[in-house]
């Protein structure tokens, strides 16, 4: 089997265990949580995205990893991680918190979609070995990130039942 085929299989199957785990263990809990606490949990996971800078770290990735993929992936991940951290730091300032929640989810989701596009355009599956130690990021980490972005967007857009008004008319 070619390295490109193995990479493509890994990439596709990376979503399966995360969807199963997320659907059974995480999603029921997130849906039942206070909206702020649910977004804080998602932001905490995404605050580690500074780790994406390894895509431009010599010795971790190969020298033939296309710069068109590596540079965008690294800095967009870094930006997403910083925005997620800012969301966590501003939780007491609700309007600022929600701004950062939307921002890190938009930047992060666009990052992943563009990285997939660049990966296809630049033939990343044929160069999968150039990912070196960073190979695990798109295979293991990225599926969970994308799943949580979708969950965050859903949680942001769903209608919550109106609180009971008590004795107020």
Domain boundaries, the chain: 3-157
* Cα separation, 103 vs 110, whole angstroms: 11
Question: In 47-141, where does DSSP find H-type helix?
Answer: 67-89, 94-121, 136
CB-based contact 155:39 (threshold 8 Å)? yes
The answer on pLDDT for 158 being more than 70 is yes
Give the mean model confidence (pLDDT) for residues 101-109: 98
Side-chain-facing half-sphere of 60: CA atoms under 13 Å: 13
At 61 the three-state DSSP class reads strand
* Cα separation, 63 vs 78, whole angstroms: 21
Other beta carbons within 10 angstroms of residue 38's beta carbon come to 18
Q: Which residues contact 131 (CB under 8 A, 6 or more apart)?
A: 61, 62, 65, 124, 137, 138
pLDDT tens, position by position, 17-44? 999 999 999 999 999 999 999 999 999 9
At 50 the three-state DSSP class reads helix
Number of helices (H), then strands (E), in the chain: 8, 0
Phi–psi pair at 112, nearest 5 degrees:
-65, -45
Give the mean model confidence (pLDDT) for residues 80-97: 98
Share above pLDDT 90 across residues of the chain, in percent, rounded to a whole number: 88
Give the mean model confidence (pLDDT) for residues 112-133: 94
pTM reported for the whole predicted model:
0.90
């Amino acid at each position: 089997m070619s390295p490109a085929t193995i990479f493509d299989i890994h990439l596709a199957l990376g979503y399966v265990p995360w969807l199963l785990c997320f659907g059974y263990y995480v999603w029921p809990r997130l849906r039942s949580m206070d909206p702020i606490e649910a977004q804080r949990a998602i932001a905490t996971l995404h605050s580690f995205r500074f780790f994406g800078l390894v895509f431009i770290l010599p010795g971790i990735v190969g020298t033939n990893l296309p710069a068109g993929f590596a540079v965008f992936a690294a800095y967009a991940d870094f930006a997403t991680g910083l925005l997620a951290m800012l969301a966590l730091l501003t939780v007491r300032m609700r309007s600022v918190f929600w701004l950062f929640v939307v921002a890190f989810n938009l930047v992060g989701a666009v990052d992943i979609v563009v990285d997939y596009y660049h990966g296809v355009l630049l033939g990343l599956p044929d160069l999968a070995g150039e990912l070196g130690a960073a190979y695990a990021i798109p295979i293991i980490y990225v599926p969970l990130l994308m799943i949580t972005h979708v969950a965050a967007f859903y949680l942001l857009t769903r209608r919550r039942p109106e609180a009971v008004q008590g004795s107020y008319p």
